[in-house]
Homo-oligomer: A and B are copies of this chain.
Amino acid sequence: MISNKLPKMFYGGDYNPEQYDQATHIEDLRMFKLAGIDIATINVFSWALNQPDEDTYNFEWLDQLIDSLYNNGVHVCLATSTAAHPAWMATKYPDVLRVDTDGHKRKFGGRHNSCPNSPTYRKYSERIALKLAERYKDHPAILVWHVSNEYGGECYCDNCAAGFRVWLKEKYGTLDNLNRAWNANFWGHTFYDWEEIVPPTNLSEHWGNNNSTFQGISLDYSRFNSDGILDCYRLEYDAIKSVIPDSVITTNLMGFFKPLDYFKWAKYMDIISWDSYPGLDTPVSFTAMAHDLMRGLKDGQPFMLMEQTPSQQNWQAYNSLKRPGVMRLWSYQAVAHGADTIMFFQMRRSAGACEKYHGAVIEHVGHENTRVFREVAEVGRELQLLGDKTLDSVTESRVGILFDWENWWAVEKSSGPTIALNYVDQVHKYYAALFRRNISTDIISVDSDFSKYDVVIAPVLYMVKPGVAKKLEDFVQAGGTFLTTFFSGIVNENDLVTLGGYPGELRKMLGIWVEEIDALFPDKHNKIVLKNKLGDLQGEYNCGLLCDLLHSEGAEVLAEYAQDFYQGMPVLTRNKFGKGEAWYLASDPDDAFVDDLLKSICDSKGILPLLETPAGVEVSRRSKNGQDYLFVMNHNANEEVFDLGQLQACDLLTETDLNGSVQIAGRGVQILELK
């Protein structure tokens, strides 16, 4: 929790004055005041500045910068600068350089470029974190510690290979266990010595973008890689904590970022922070889901919006401007879903190199008379007004959607049945239906406490890890409603099929047996036909992608396929199990079906929308000390109207009382304090 640090939401962002001169810095400080900026993330990429050679450290510039900021009312989110190693280090200690999947040893360049298993990188990144902690442990400016930056990537060097073998020994103990877990008798892969195991790369088991001929080793390497990078984070984390036990430490995550299992990472973070870079064509429901994932990482704890662009990005194919009001709208969307800060990348645009066409609070023109700056300053003004009203408030949801990184890896490394299966898109499909109805949803992990929810949805729960089936059964038996879909219950945590009939460990609870799985060509569809009207569900819907051919083993058949040789086989089933229900959807339906299905399920559980609003008007809720705050966000460009019904509210941004029929401007935001 960082809310004890400032009595309002932090407002600011990445700041790299080392690219400019002192006069520019003075001008920046002037403008920060105009915009209500009170936090700056600094030192993100300054390792080479801080440590010009192996033995020399030079923090004087940083001392001055921190003092200067603090003396001007700007607090500091202090990065440890280890997100790009210095060029001298690459020259002197090539072990810091990564080896790519084609076996190429990289050379100095780019960023986020260090091998996570490099002894040199580990030694010097830990050391500089320690030195920074020692130097600034008592500085009142420092609010948050920011370890490295946007961790990611992979390395396949010999140090990684050696580390992988150690990791495997710890996991499996014996080669017999490993050979069994990987089904190593397949294609003659039996290992007799740990040294025979090499990382899976394009030179061994991989090809193309995401294909493996041997999923067991690939899955374990994904785990090892996530863990190894986490180790690097933890070295720095522990170094800082050893000096400042009560420091608040984070690293900036990236939403649905495949390489790192953030649920595992979150255990080692004091607060979650993340960088939100939707494209102009990203569905707003997807951004909302990403925020909810970040909130879910620490079981609902508020998070930091560490980065967003005030205007445009530079690395998309087409970097359109955020339309007027959109930066503000998306900032409050983050808050609505749990953010307790609004921060930008970055405060002033670079004059040179890769990100000079990325938006910034202070543009190249250098003054405050820009649309972008005015919009930033307006939000700054509002945040002063809001004060700590919503700070530390929480989001209560009765629906949880299960998301699991290892399942993601496994589903998409699978060779067959279809390349078109995208796990995150499947999760989003169900999230978006709830989003459209303004039903609050948590994104949860297999380790979450399911009993907090009335409904748990687990799209494509392909991998059922130890204990999860039992947890789900307990949840349903106690009265919960569970929904899962095709290609679920197939494998265990090692990607070994659970024999005896799909959906494996979920079969009993679901009361079905899936005999076959048909993959449809992209232009092919089948139909879902309801046997009887079921809430809003009735008539026919389209489905495709995969079609499970299943038999009921006790489950009620609610809908059937209407076409192909499996016409008449069940496609939607519901099984009474204990006090609850377990639903199975055997194919990938159109959105209309998901809307009607989830409305039926939610209605039956008495889960209602926060508000009924026109399409494109999102409502999200945060609560604190018994007080509810409804964030109403109009994602449409035109004004919309909705009805508060019996509710009485005050819009905190305009300090206006509202009731009955309420107008909201195009791209407008209202924060309704309910009375």
Contact = CB atoms under 8 A, between A and B. Distances in A.
Interface string A183-203: 101111111110111101111
A102 to B, nearest CB: 6
A565 B327 CA distance: 14
B53 A192 contact: yes
Contacts of A420: 317-318
Nearest to A193: B88
Contacts of A85: 188
A323 B109 contact: no
A224 to B, nearest CB: 16
A489 to B, nearest CB: 11
Given A109-B198, A419-B317, A186 B355 contact: yes
A13 B195 CA distance: 35
A204 to B, nearest CB: 3
Contacts of A196: 87-88, 90-91, 108
Nearest to A82: B188
Given A90-B196, A188-B85, A311 B516 contact: yes
A110 B213 contact: yes
A352 B109 contact: no
Contact of A351 (B91, B311, B499): B499
Q: How many copies does the complex hold?
A: 3
Contacts of A188: 45-49, 81, 83-86, 111
Interface stretch (A235-243, A330-338, A358-366): A358-366
Interface size on A, as a range, is 35 or more
Contact of A356 (B195, B353, B497): B497
B418 A214 contact: no
Nearest to A359: B516
Given A105-B203, A193-B91, A418-B319, A372 B516 contact: yes
Given A188-B48, A193-B88, A215 B354 contact: yes
A109 B204 contact: yes
B565 A324 contact: yes
A109 B213 contact: yes
Interface string A266-291: 00000000000000110000000000
B353 A182 contact: yes
A516 B321 contact: yes
A29 B108 CA distance: 58
Interface string A493-509: 01111011110000000
Contacts of A414: 357
A352 B220 CA distance: 14
A106 B190 contact: no
Interface stretch (A422-430, A518-526, A605-613, A644-652): A518-526
A204 B519 contact: no
A320 interface: yes
B518 A198 contact: no
A621 to B, nearest CB: 30
30 contacts: A16-B185, A16-B186, A19-B183, A45-B186, A52-B190, A84-B189, A90-B196, A104-B202, A107-B201, A109-B203, A111-B187, A183-B350, A183-B352, A186-B354, A187-B354, A215-B353, A312-B516, A312-B519, A317-B419, A318-B519, A320-B519, A320-B521, A321-B517, A321-B518, A321-B549, A357-B414, A363-B515, A364-B500, A365-B502, A371-B549
Sort A-B residue pairs by CB-CB distance and give the 9 closest, nearest first: A183-B352, A109-B204, A314-B416, A357-B416, A87-B196, A186-B353, A84-B188, A48-B190, A109-B205
Given A47-B188, A312-B516, 17 more contacts: A48-B190, A86-B192, A88-B196, A105-B203, A109-B205, A213-B354, A214-B354, A215-B353, A314-B417, A317-B419, A321-B516, A321-B517, A321-B518, A358-B416, A363-B516, A366-B500, A371-B515
Interface of A: 16, 18-19, 45-49, 52-53, 81, 83-88, 90-91, 102-111, 181-183, 185-193, 195-198, 200-205, 212-216, 280-281, 311-321, 323-324, 349-358, 363-366, 370-372, 414-420, 494-497, 499-502, 513, 515-522, 549, 565
